[in-house]
């Protein structure tokens, strides 16, 4: 079963509550993008916004950390209520820490641990972590901004990862993030994606609930 995770980055920051209620009613998760202007060339929001979201949201909070040194902040995000926390392999590389140690830390904090990569990182770099992760996050745009065009190559990358996990008999959910809409949902699901993150295709739609429904391809 596909899960839909609307990205609140595309929500209405002047009045988030209606967007959160729409997510409670129609979606499976809320995707929360945290950007630090260092790992990615944009800054989004941090703890105060996340804590406000936590007061209203009823579906699990899926926090996508696009920050350097994720290991410094994971405990705080878990305490703020994140049930799923992903960080970038590139950030672990930059910090000189094995991603496995950060995955362990996420687990110790009681959250599900996800490992993310941008479109220019070879998918086989994820293979050593198949046993340890709870999910993988394949970026289908370069992390940093909502509203970018979906990179078609991502479908093959998802399929490659899915097939490797099948070979090992260790299937972990694959989340896909960036330029996802009803137009590519079926192809992504066929390739093996289970969690579809969608920002602009949900929040820029005239009827966000209907946009979510259209993405439920199975
Ligand atoms: C991009 C973020 C995405 C973004 C997706 O760096 O990680 O979650 O909000 O937005 P859309 O669906 O508009 O590409
Ligand atoms: Zn994201």
Task: For residue 177, indicate whether it is catalytic.
Answer: yes
- Rounded Cα distance between 85 and 214, Å, is 26
Task: Write the pLDDT tens digit of every residue in 67-83.
Answer: 999 999 999 999 999 99
Fold of domain 3-215:
TIM Barrel (3.20.20)
Q: What is the pLDDT of residues 201-216, one digit of tens each?
A: 999 999 999 999 999 9
Best substitution site from 87, 146, 205, 214 to test ligand 1's pocket, by max atoms within 8 Å of Cβ?
A: 146
Q: Is 189 left (phi over 0), alpha (psi -120 to 50) or beta?
A: alpha
33 catalytic residue (yes or no): yes
Q: What is the mean pLDDT of residues 91-114?
A: 98
pLDDT at 139: 99
Ligand 1 is surrounded, with C-beta below 6 A, by 7, 9-10, 31, 33, 64, 141, 143-148, 177-180, 197-201
Residue 64: predicted pLDDT? 99
Q: How far is the CA of 143 from the centre of ligand 1 (A)?
A: 7
Q: pTM (2 decimals)?
A: 0.98
Is the pLDDT confidence value at 192 over 90?
yes
* Contact of 149 with 140, CB cutoff 8 Å: no
pLDDT in tens, 137-171: 999 999 999 999 999 999 999 999 999 999 999 99
pLDDT tens figures, 39-53? 999 999 999 999 999
Q: How far apart are CA 173 and CA 33, in angstroms?
A: 19
């Amino acid at each position: 079963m596909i899960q839909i995770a609307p990205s609140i980055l595309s929500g209405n920051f002047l009045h988030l509550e209606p967007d959160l209620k729409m997510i409670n009613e129609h979606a499976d998760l809320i995707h929360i993008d945290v950007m630090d202007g260092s790992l990615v060339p944009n800054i989004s929001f941090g703890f105060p916004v996340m804590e406000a979201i936590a007061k209203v949201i009823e579906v699990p909070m899926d926090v996508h950390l696009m920050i350097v040194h994720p290991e410094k902040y994971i405990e705080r995000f878990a305490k703020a209520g994140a049930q799923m926390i992903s960080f970038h392999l590139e950030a672990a590389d930059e910090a000189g820490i094995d991603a496995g140690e950060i995955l362990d830390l996420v687990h110790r904090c009681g959250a599900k641990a996800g490992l993310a990569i941008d479109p220019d990182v070879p998918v086989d770099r994820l293979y050593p972590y198949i046993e340890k992760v709870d999910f993988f996050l394949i970026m289908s745009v370069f992390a940093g901004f909502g509203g970018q065009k979906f990179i078609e190559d991502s479908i093959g990358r998802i399929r490659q990862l899915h097939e490797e996990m099948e070979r090992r008999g260790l299937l972990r959910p694959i989340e896909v993030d960036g330029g996802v809409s009803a137009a590519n949902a079926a192809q992504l699901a066929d390739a093996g994606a289970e969690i579809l993150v969608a920002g602009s295709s949900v929040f820029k739609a005239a009827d966000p609930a209907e946009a979510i429904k259209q993405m439920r391809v199975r």
